[in-house]
């Protein structure tokens, strides 16, 4: 893989994180495949596709801020480690909105094909999130 191909993969993943952090999917088709899949899915009934991309955090948390601390490519894959902060403003994990600030880490592996993210494997620190929002 040459440098240009690596830069294209990194740009696709950076675009995905930018949309997530702004909770704005208006440019989703620029960086995410129409057949996009998330593992685990954002909810048990989610089907592959762009319409499921923003479901989940966007309805339970606001003021999402994040920083990619590590970003690496390996062939068609891009690995990202991120640190996030957000405010619990809607029901999450059975817990009503608390207004509490939450900080957590996430580790994601993305498959990038033809310049677009086609699959993402997420490992968010949900235990830390739950511990910060529960009474």
Q: What is the mean pLDDT of residues 15-42?
A: 81
Which CATH number covers residue 17? 3.10.450.50
Could you give the CA distance from residue 107 to residue 124 in angstroms, rounded to a whole number? 6
Mean pLDDT calculated for residue range 55-63: 73
Percent of the chain residues topping a pLDDT of 90? 46
pLDDT at 44: 66
Q: How confident is the model at residue 58 (pLDDT cuts 50, 70, 90)?
A: low
Instruction: Kindly tell me if the per-residue pLDDT of 72 is higher than 70.
Output: yes
Q: How far apart are the C-alpha atoms of 92 and 101, rounded to whole Å?
A: 13
High-pLDDT (> 70) share of the chain, %: 90
Per-residue pLDDT, averaged over 74-90, amounts to 94
Q: The whole model's pTM is what?
A: 0.82
Cα–Cα dist 27/53, whole Å = 12
Number of domains in the chain: 1
Determine the structural domain holding residue 102 and report its residue range: 3-133
What's the rounded Cα separation, in Å, for the pair 19 and 8? Answer: 17
């Amino acid at each position: 893989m040459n440098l240009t191909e690596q830069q294209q993969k990194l740009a696709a993943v950076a675009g995905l994180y930018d949309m997530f952090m702004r909770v704005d999917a208006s440019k989703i088709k620029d960086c995410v495949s129409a057949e996009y899949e998330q593992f685990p899915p954002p909810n048990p009934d989610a089907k592959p596709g762009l319409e499921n991309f923003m479901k989940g955090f966007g309805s339970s948390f606001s003021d999402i801020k994040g920083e990619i601390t590590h970003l690496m490519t390996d062939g068609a894959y891009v690995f990202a480690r991120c640190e996030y902060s957000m405010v619990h403003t809607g029901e999450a994990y059975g817990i009503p909105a608390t207004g509490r600030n939450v900080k957590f880490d996430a580790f994601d592996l993305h498959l990038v094909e033809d310049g677009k993210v086609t699959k993402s494997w997420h490992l968010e620190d949900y235990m830390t999130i739950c511990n910060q929002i529960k009474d």
